[in-house]
Amino acid sequence: MIFAAGFGKRMRPITNKIPKSLVKVNGKCLLDYALDNIAEAGIQKAVVNTHYLAEQIEQHLKERNKLPNVLISHEEVILETGGGIVKALLRLGDKPFFTINSDVIITSGQTHLFKRMADMWNPEIMDALMLLQDTKKAVGYDGQGDFNLADDGHLIKPENDKCDYVFTGVMLIKPDIFKDMEEKPFSVYRDFLHQKYHHNDGSLSRVFGLAHDSKWLHVGTPENIKEAEKALVKS
């Protein structure tokens, strides 16, 4: 599932007229970077959620005419990542699925990032697996990090401390953990996974992480576009 419903407020004034997912980096729109990533992994179907300037995204997808096949989940009221998943569940099916944000460009090392995640996936002990980037290697990101990572892949979320890794927005997650949840705006991690799985010692049960082995470019502002273009040239 690709999250493409947002208003792109930090990308203004560019997003006054186009949705953030159609902003171009090196002549290619962000949404196509995500879709091509999915196709390169051999995944045949993707769900894209829409809200702001949805008709432009729908028209772009009609004209794209290549894999993956796309199902649109339109939101009359913006639902954030968690509510967006709940609304799209029937389209997503009953097997674990990947999520990716439409404001990032992410490359793979020798092995495609989705395959690396699928190889690590263990449904007996995992409900979600997050792809993480070392904050020192992240492009277009200057935050404090989101998680630390234990040797066995468990995530650690200390309170009010800097962390070594930032969540890339790429996740492999079970659909059944959203069963019977209300279709309303909420964040997958902040309002759900953290509340359900976080312990007082900072650890999270059944939520694991995998360190990314290639580039992750966050494209959230006009300035980030130039940073991403420079990083792609270097690669």
The predicted-structure confidence for 48-88, as pLDDT tens digits, reads as follows 999 999 999 999 999 998 999 999 999 999 999 999 999 99
Q: Which CATH number fits domain 2-234: 3.40.50.720, 3.40.120.10, 4.10.320.10, 3.90.550.10?
A: 3.90.550.10
Nearest to 133 by CA among 214, 199, 12: 214
The H-or-E segment that residue 167 falls in is strand 165-173
Q: Are residues 218 and 103 in contact, defined by beta-carbon separation less than 8 angstroms?
A: yes
The predicted-structure confidence for 98-155, as pLDDT tens digits, reads as follows 999 999 999 999 999 999 999 999 999 999 999 999 999 999 999 999 999 999 999 9
Residue located via tokens 């939101």: 75
Decide: helix, strand or coil at residue 162: coil
The H-or-E segment that residue 59 falls in is helix 54-64
Within a 10 A sphere around the Cβ of 18, how many other Cβ atoms? 18
Of 38-52, 68-82, 192-206, the least confident: 192-206
